Chains A and B, each alone.
Chain A
């Protein structure tokens, strides 16, 4: 089972890129999807039953869209929210196994109050959609769907 998790706050401009993208595609993807403001430990138990997980998140960096594998890694100095690698680490340790993790990072520019994406973020969405669909198709090929 594959799982796509959009991360971000839709009321903070481009921070909502992940949930917006997941919303647009969830009906057509054929995999489990959800969106959260932040990753919390309660996701770990369900996540331990997944084969692969793709985290879709906005990034404030200057790089373009980036799809990359991520590995479990202990998080440092956190409160009740976790980075993707930290959630995978927690999942593996608390529930015995973690799925193969991937991160789709989409560059955003404006992270202030508001539910609208910036023009730059909107422009990235088309490429991000294609990248995400390729990830799903590859997953389906791998399991022979």
Chain B
């Protein structure tokens, strides 16, 4: 008898979602869908507001990713004003984005995902969390907490607070970095690097390449910004898309012309749209972004320790890793690269200059701002009237880019672990783990309110519930 399995809501991601697994008459997986079940409509809320409000307004899209939206919005407003922010403002924006990478990736790795794979996929879900991690490995947990705290402190020292700092503004930033704050960050860097290097070693020694296939491995394209010579980039750069072998499908493209290459498809069963590579159509134009996407598109990081670790990573995978689990590995590599880039930025004497903002009126009626958020390429696109009021806004957020990839991961994992209708807690958590590896932020992509228990419904072909599993 064909039936459906629902996993609702998916836990330890930012926002609400559910998973439906469709079984065939034999009890094997026929298909699977990752649904995002709530709508936010931020693009509509922004209409009629002034462009100067947009960085602060769009920051409220999310409590996890405010820095990402502030920076993308400020860049979009720079374009509307047709201003070039002072050099120091750009350095400081880069510094804040790197702080965001550190805190966001540390949160994803140590708090949300490490409990799955360090405590074991089949451990009691009630204790498979950061507190459980503390019980099992207090030293690792303590270091993870301090690493995230370090990233947050960078944001706080630049913007005045850890969440929703109203700091990046059209034309630059509104507060310089003092020498004392620079020195504090520099003094804390060695511990952060030691923690990151130690965690990379632990990850590598714990999971051999075969173990890293646990959340499925499949081919796709990858997308991200790259700098000169194909270096890893997070703030500016040119758009690159590569295929599963690393061959360049698209390269050296101004990201502001994204509509020529990226379009969004919709499905009636989810509020989250499906961006895809336009020339290849939907769904064949699937690409993935975020830590693994950036690691796959770049030639190298451009900093010594991260490049050394990247070389080791690439020894255990093809030029482009298709392993969903490798999102975690790539996340750690990006923390290391971010720390090295932070060190480099702070060594630049311009970093404490007080020339941090350029002033201008509205000079363009359409502007695009693109940068890399921790979860992937973030695009803001505004249209304004001559007074600077927003007439239309379009956001293509990182999580959306990975929608096709997340659905594919759910389907592949479910096919691997669900056979003849047998479903266990550990299997369900692996399916969820496939989603969590992408670290989706549904606050940004659509909506989020708090947390709820996990509910699994098994529904018969006639629509009658067969059984329900509930996780508190």
List A residues at the B interface (Cβ < 8 Å).
Answer: 37, 41-42, 44-45, 74-82, 86, 89-90, 93-95
Contact = CB atoms under 8 A, between A and B. Distances in A.
Contact of B125 (A41, A77, A95): A77
Contacts of B135: 74, 93
Contact of A45 (B63, B64, B145, B472): B145
A44 B163 CA distance: 18
A82 B129 CA distance: 11
Nearest to A12: B449
Nearest to A95: B142
Given A78-B129, A80-B107, A89-B131, A42 B145 contact: yes
B471 A77 contact: yes
Contact of A77 (B129, B142, B149, B163): B129
The list of the 5 closest CB pairs from A to B, nearest first, reads: A76-B126, A42-B149, A93-B134, A94-B142, A79-B12
Range of interface residues on B (Cβ < 8 Å) = 20 to 34
A76 B107 contact: no
A44 B126 CA distance: 21
B12 A41 contact: no
Contacts of B130: 41, 78, 80, 90
A76 B125 CA distance: 8
Given A41-B111, A42-B152, A80-B107, A75 B131 contact: yes
Contacts of B146: 45
Nearest to B451: A79
A48 to B, nearest CB: 10
Contact of A93 (B12, B64, B138): B138
A58 B388 CA distance: 40
A137 B173 CA distance: 44
A37 B63 contact: yes
Nearest to B125: A77
B316 interface: no
B451 A90 contact: no
A78 B130 CA distance: 8
B66 to A, nearest CB: 12
B11 interface: yes
Interface string B119-143: 0000001110111101100100110
B148 interface: yes
Contacts of B141: 93-94
A50 to B, nearest CB: 16
Contacts of B163: 37
Given A90-B130, A95-B142, 19 more contacts: A37-B163, A41-B145, A41-B148, A44-B145, A74-B131, A75-B129, A75-B131, A77-B125, A77-B126, A77-B454, A77-B472, A78-B129, A78-B451, A79-B13, A79-B451, A80-B111, A93-B141, A94-B134, A94-B138
